[in-house]
Structure 1
Amino acid sequence: MTTVPRSPHLLVLSTALLAVAGIALLGMPPGHPPSAPAPPRIAQATTNPSTTPPTPGRKPAVTLAAPTTVAAGTPPVVTSHLPPHGEGVAGDRSIQRSLEAAWPADLPAAEERELLTAGRALLRADATGIGRAKWPTVFPDGSQAVAPAFATARFRIQAAIARREGSPDKAVVHLVWAGLDRGGTFTDCRITDFHFTRTTSTKGTETWTPQSPT
């Protein structure tokens, strides 16, 4: 039993398709079967540097993670590619540029300099033990609290920035550094953050005070 198409438009379309197919078969030379359809064209894939395996023998690029503490209102931080580990002093400038590009400046120049000076001194005191007595709130027992973990001669601050931390009265100093530990292992691209709060003295003088570690 033949089923009649429900729609006149469908009937016309079916008839037209059958007619076209019949004409094509009649017009084909005998002994020549219909050619197979051409395979679909595949676009040539482009190489993505982020997924290409590294060349053997070449050190992979180090990616510096953005500061972990990002307060509300802080611009998103862009991860930047840094020189390979072991690049030495020659790579420090690239690290500094990467930090500055990832986290744009948002402090007055004078305040940023004050915070950077304090942050560098704190890091040196923490890593090598030099100058701990200057920071009694951070090192309450002075230089005897914790033995220096890194040798002074091989300690180096590679890059540093100071930025606001969600409030005009709070800031963080983000430092990247290298050092030789007591076990004789030298490691660069270490990351340390020091947090500061703006305080006002009884004489009305404002200064940045490091927060005690928790």
Structure 2
Amino acid sequence: MTTPLHPPRLLVLSTLMLAVAGIALLDMPHGQGAPDRVVSSTAWSAPRSSPASPAPAVVRPSSVRTTPSATSTASPPPVAESPLPPHGEGTAGDQAVQLSLEKAWPADLPAHDQRELLTVGRALLRADATGVERHEWPALFPSTGQAVAPAFSTALFRVQAAVARRDGSPDKAVVHLVWAGTDRGGTFTDLRISDWHFKRKASQMGASTWTPQPRT
């Protein structure tokens, strides 16, 4: 026959059961059950990036291309210097004129022919420009019986440079002269150009001479 439990014993058993349940809870590992709340709290507090605002691209220095500024001044191309001296340089520039002629027109005649042609060519130019000794070449400067004032004064007349070269064949030559002078109006001009043409003529003794041709 089972003896019924008295109320005080029920109260004691209930107290023991609660104590055992509490001990079981205390024995559980720490952190269990809490992670759900921690993760949700972190996700809520973290800043959210907007899909419409992508992260800025990183530009490396090696990939940057520099372009000239529109306001920058481009350096002008080099200008080729003229081999001839400026007008009014005087006798100091005559050597540069001579060298320029020789470089542009290489020699193609024997030295003795060049000397003869240059001597006569200079004299012809002087006679034509200033009237001096025109009588030496009556075929080139026929007398009109009247005095003619020279086109240029003898005071400042000078030949700046001259070369003698072949003129299409071994028996033809041209003397190319650059000169300066003051005209009747008193205007001085340099770097003037004149050409005198010559033909080779054989003499009875077998030698040959250069004969100047009339101006056309």
Question: TM-score, normalised to structure 2's length?
Answer: 0.64
The aligned counterpart of 1:122 is 124
Are the aligned partners of 2:199 and 2:211 in contact in 1 as well (CA < 8 Å)?
A: yes
SS in 1 for 2:109: coil
Are the aligned partners of 1:130 and 1:143 in contact in 2 as well (CA < 8 Å)?
A: no
How many angstroms apart in 2 are the aligned matches of 1:163 and 1:190? 19
The aligned counterpart of 1:206 is 208
SS in 1 for 2:127: helix
Q: How does 1:48-197 map to 2 (within 5 A)?
A: 48-50=77-79, 81-141=83-143, 146-197=148-199
Corresponding pairs, count: 158
Are the aligned partners of 1:177 and 1:190 in contact in 2 as well (CA < 8 Å)?
A: yes
How many angstroms apart in 2 are the aligned matches of 1:169 and 1:145? 36
Q: Per-residue deviation at 1:131?
A: 1.2
The aligned counterpart of 1:18 is none
Unaligned runs of 5+ in 2: 1-52
Percent identical: 64
CA 144–205 in structure 1, closer or farther in 2 if over 3 Å, else same:
farther
Q: What's the C-alpha RMSD, in Å, of the aligned pairs?
A: 2.9
How many angstroms apart in 1 are the aligned matches of 2:196 and 2:145? 18
How many angstroms apart in 2 are the aligned matches of 1:183 and 1:164? 36
Q: Per-residue deviation at 1:137?
A: 2.1
Are the aligned partners of 2:83 and 2:96 in contact in 1 as well (CA < 8 Å)?
A: no
CA 180–122 in structure 1, closer or farther in 2 if over 3 Å, else same:
same
The aligned counterpart of 2:7 is none
- Which of 54, 59, 67 is 1:30 aligned to? 54
Cα deviation code 1:147-182 (max 9, x no counterpart): 310111110110100000110000000000000100
Are the aligned partners of 1:159 and 1:175 in contact in 2 as well (CA < 8 Å)?
A: yes
SS in 1 for 2:174: strand
Q: Per-residue deviation at 1:140?
A: 2.1
Are the aligned partners of 1:132 and 1:142 in contact in 2 as well (CA < 8 Å)?
A: no
Are the aligned partners of 1:128 and 1:150 in contact in 2 as well (CA < 8 Å)?
A: yes
How many angstroms apart in 2 are the aligned matches of 1:119 and 1:143? 25
SS in 1 for 2:93: helix
How many angstroms apart in 2 are the aligned matches of 1:143 and 1:173? 30
The aligned counterpart of 1:58 is none
SS in 2 for 1:99: helix
Q: Per-residue deviation at 1:194?
A: 0.4
The aligned counterpart of 1:72 is none
How many angstroms apart in 2 are the aligned matches of 1:142 and 1:99? 36
Q: Per-residue deviation at 1:100?
A: 0.6
Are the aligned partners of 2:199 and 2:210 in contact in 1 as well (CA < 8 Å)?
A: yes
